[in-house]
Structure 1
Amino acid sequence: MPPAPPAAVGPPPAPALVAAATSSPAPASPSSSADHSCTPVGRSFPLATRIHGGPDVYEGGEFGGWYLDLVNTTRHTCAGIHPVVVLVDERHALKPSQVRLEFQDGARKRAVRFESTDADELVGAFGGAGLTVGPGRTLTVKVRLAVTEDAVPNEVTANAAVVQRHGEDGDWVGQSNDYRFGIGSAPAARHDTTPTPEGLPFTDAAEELASTGPAVAAAVLGTAALLLVTAGAILRARGRR
């Protein structure tokens, strides 16, 4: 069975996540059997995910554009898809207020609000009703990112976890490669770890999600809280490989 945030009640949720849950209206859930059509089977991700085309350096206040490819490897429509961008900076100095990110949702640009986690990650969920990717199709989402002028010189790794929402539940259905960039100067060259749809740590992710009580308290499972904490758990599980 695919991993999903469990329903156990744990410690009280972080204030930022409670605020996100209570202040963000839940989007309309996709209806019919398409809701769970992208449920992972075995150890395969149904959505192959890739970040590409972004600049190596961001200067204060200037937007840089990049793309997020979502490739549906199944024979079913994948609806209710919410990419969640996770930013990890080497100096642990980047603040949510210093990052602006927007994505193209049809004819509309939507802003992504970032929250900080207790592990100094910045996590931002794509809102709205969710993206839809047809069977065997590729959806390329245009994204643009900027940092404010007061952001200190830094090196940042961006990664997209992909969650399919089902009402007050969700599945981890995709994981992108790492996109590394510098603030003020280019980052040092490193090996780019691009995950494939096969062999990714669903078992580790399930164990991590089971241990994160704040993420799964039923009373606070708003859209933003669900997606943000799911992404944080995914990132930690991925980091332990």
Structure 2
Amino acid sequence: MRLCTCLTLMFAVGAGLGGGPGVAVAAVGEAVGCTGADSEEFPILTRIDGGPATYVAGGGFRTWAVELTNTTDRTCADVHPVIVLVDDGRALKRSQPQLEYFEDAKGTTSRPVAFEETDSDELVGVLDEDGDGFTVPAGGTLTVKVRLSVTSDAAVPNDVVANAAVVQRRGDDSEWVGESDDYRFRIIDEDEDEDEDEHEKEKGSEERGKDADGRRDGSPSPSAGKSERPAGDRVSAEPDPAPDAGPYPGELAASGAGHVLLPYAVGVLALAVGGVLAAGVRRRRR
């Protein structure tokens, strides 16, 4: 079980949920959340799903989701996902990320999330801070849809790591019951976004300019320049004394009649092997 190393995060979450500074922080080996004392794992398996790689400062909302899976055999109620943002430049202000979450599965009603800044220059936002949180049924998964945008005054470019910590409120205390992997994205400006779009368009044009064999339009086919045998021409048992056909694809760069004999020899060998196999089958049936 991974434990929270950022006490300022826990204190901020506790204050936001009405627990004040006396937040319950589990010690190593101590059970947390919805499970009994014998558990050493977080009871809520947490994952950030579908987040884009870039956000344009001053651009629109981008949608993703926080998935909460209850790994226990009991219901986990009053659960609050906590979004933590840490930017490389330590320049992101609490007013610049605009985060909203949706109360229902259909995503028709959204509510804003207020960020607070910790002593470690982290931005912390609690989903459903003043409400009863979310309820995750035993063995079930709850998907909380969120959307994020960044205001135009945000510093660019700036790389950001987002994490979803999950807190369960228990009276005046709160316990940490889940944590997601890192979700990394970059805040960029409109010019950089246009450059990326242009690059994608050029890449798409190059792909459309190729046929099913991966060749560009107008390029010679792999068989161009190879002589073709006329329709109905029967293969002679004896090779032509002076073949004028070039080497077959995949042959070694050699000269002489071996270029023509090789495919015929392969065919004869295949027929011989087929005959041996057929004879073996007949013997086994007797």
The TM-score normalised by the length of structure 2 is 0.52
The answer to whether the Cα contact below 8 Å between 2:16 and 2:126 also exists between their aligned partners in 1 is no
Partners in 2 of 1:164 and 1:147 — Cα distance? 28
Letter in 1 for 2:48: I
Partners in 2 of 1:161 and 1:151 — Cα distance? 24
Letter in 1 for 2:113: V
Identify the range of structure 1 (141-150 vs 39-48) with the bigger mean alpha-carbon deviation. Answer: 39-48
Q: What does the per-residue CA deviation read over 1:196-231, in whole Å, with 9 as the maximum and x for residues that have no partner?
A: xxxxxxxxxxxxxxxxxxxxxxxxxxxxxxxxxxxx
- The alignment-based identity, stated in percent, is 52
2:115 maps to what in 1? 114
Relative distance call for 1:164 and 1:180 in structure 2 (3 A) is same
Relative distance call for 1:19 and 1:167 in structure 2 (3 A) is closer
**2:43 equivalent among 39, 46, 54:** 46
1:175 maps to what in 2? 179
Letter in 2 for 1:136: G
2:140 maps to what in 1? 137
1:99 maps to what in 2? 97
Cα shift at 1:37:
3.5
Structure 2 unaligned blocks of 5 or more: 5-10, 19-32, 194-286
Matched, 1:158 2:159: no
CA RMSD of aligned residues (A): 2.7
2:152 maps to what in 1? 149
Higher strand residue share: 1
Letter in 1 for 2:187: I
Relative distance call for 1:108 and 1:94 in structure 2 (3 A) is same
Number of aligned residue pairs: give it: 162
Cα shift at 1:43:
1.9
Partners in 1 of 2:86 and 2:103 — Cα distance? 25
Partners in 2 of 1:19 and 1:37 — Cα distance? 21
Partners in 1 of 2:165 and 2:37 — Cα distance? 14
The TM-score normalised by the length of structure 1 is 0.61
Q: What does the per-residue CA deviation read over 1:12-48, in whole Å, with 9 as the maximum and x for residues that have no partner?
A: xx9x9999578xxxxxxxxxxxxx6346743211010
1:66 maps to what in 2? 64
Partners in 1 of 2:180 and 2:67 — Cα distance? 9
Higher relative contact order (CA 8 A, sep 6+): 1
Which of structures 1 and 2 has the bigger CA Rg? Answer: 2
The answer to whether the Cα contact below 8 Å between 1:38 and 1:78 also exists between their aligned partners in 2 is no
Partners in 1 of 2:37 and 2:89 — Cα distance? 35
Partners in 2 of 1:18 and 1:74 — Cα distance? 24
Runs in 1 of length 4+ with deviation above 2 angstroms? 16-22, 36-42
